[in-house]
Amino acid sequence: MNISVLGCGRWGTFLAWYADQMGHRSLLWGREGSGNYDNLEKNRKNEYLEIPDTIGLTHSLTEAVSFGDIIIISISAQELRSFAKQLKSVPKAREKIYILCMKGLEAVSGKRLSQVFQEELEPSIAVAVWVGPGHVQDFVKGIPNCMVISSEDIEVTKTVIHAFTGDLIRFYYGQDMIGNEIGAATKNVIGIAAGMLDGLQYSSLKGALMARGAREISRLVKTMGGNNITVYGLSHLGDYEATLFSPYSHNRKFGEDYVQNQKFNKLAEGVATLEALQQLSKQYNVELPISNALYQVLFHKQDVSKTLLDLFLRPLKYEFE
């Protein structure tokens, strides 16, 4: 198949490389002036991997959309709405299958990324999400993992899984878009909390964080109309190892650097997701204690040590309350 990847950051470049490894024809798109793109064009590599000459590079969105049978989007979650508006004017854009390979929620509205994309492009557009654990640094070493493809259209799910399942990544069928999208986005929030605990030398509390975090998000997913059990699958709980413990996790590292007053220069999607969760908590009248505590720390500058300790050492509650 022809696979176009829109976005040439760490994950987007890997996806183009992976599609090529799977035997597909791969084209990688990047914006004019993108440092990531300019580096790939000049050196055919980034800090994670080297791309073969069989992978094409382009600045032309029209060329990328025209080329792809399947189009993968891997950009910042907060840029998706404006990017989808750009795609509206591209010929044949509505005829393609899209895979959203980002984990986030729209900060200002709390909407899932598939909702944002379909609102701007077309409600009937064929769209799937690709979520679950895995880091580029591990994949390029040949270390396998399991991930999830989810779509409202089972035929789209089947097409995508058939195209990308191999020895490196085994895919599972995701049957709950709400649970998979909310779960994938919010695991980054739990990752920030884990990093803060690491930075404060409270890593022993990460067990409580994992138990309480999954429970908190499962309540939200159920209230939103999804299946609360989905949270205990690969999109959320199954991604905890890669997000709460891995040195490669941007969100965990952001939390650790924050409490140690060190600058973090990479994207931590969990920060914007915290804003989105404030919207969802109000909209669905669901208490989100961990998310709210982190929001108070990051957006209202509350003392991080006191806030987190108060969160986990508050008066006795039943375990599953």
Catalytic residues: 187
Contact status, residue 83 vs residue 73, Cβ threshold 8 Å? yes
Q: What is the DSSP letter of 57?
A: E
Residue 110: partners with Cβ closer than 8 Å, 6 or more residues away:
276, 277, 278, 279, 280, 283
Residue 163: partners with Cβ closer than 8 Å, 6 or more residues away:
1, 3, 22, 24, 70
Q: How far apart are CA 155 and CA 161, in angstroms?
A: 10
Query: Assign residue 288 a region: left if phi > 0, alpha if psi is -120 to 50, beta otherwise?
Result: beta
Q: Are strands 97-100 and 2-6 parallel, antiparallel or unpaired?
A: unpaired
Nearest to 214 by CA among 247, 182, 256: 182
Bridge partners of 127, per DSSP, are 98
Distance in angstroms between the alpha carbons of the first and the last residue of the chain: 49
> Is residue 219 helix, strand or coil?
helix
Nearest to 129 by CA among 228, 37, 234, 245: 234
* 63 half-sphere exposure, CB direction, 13 A CA radius: 11
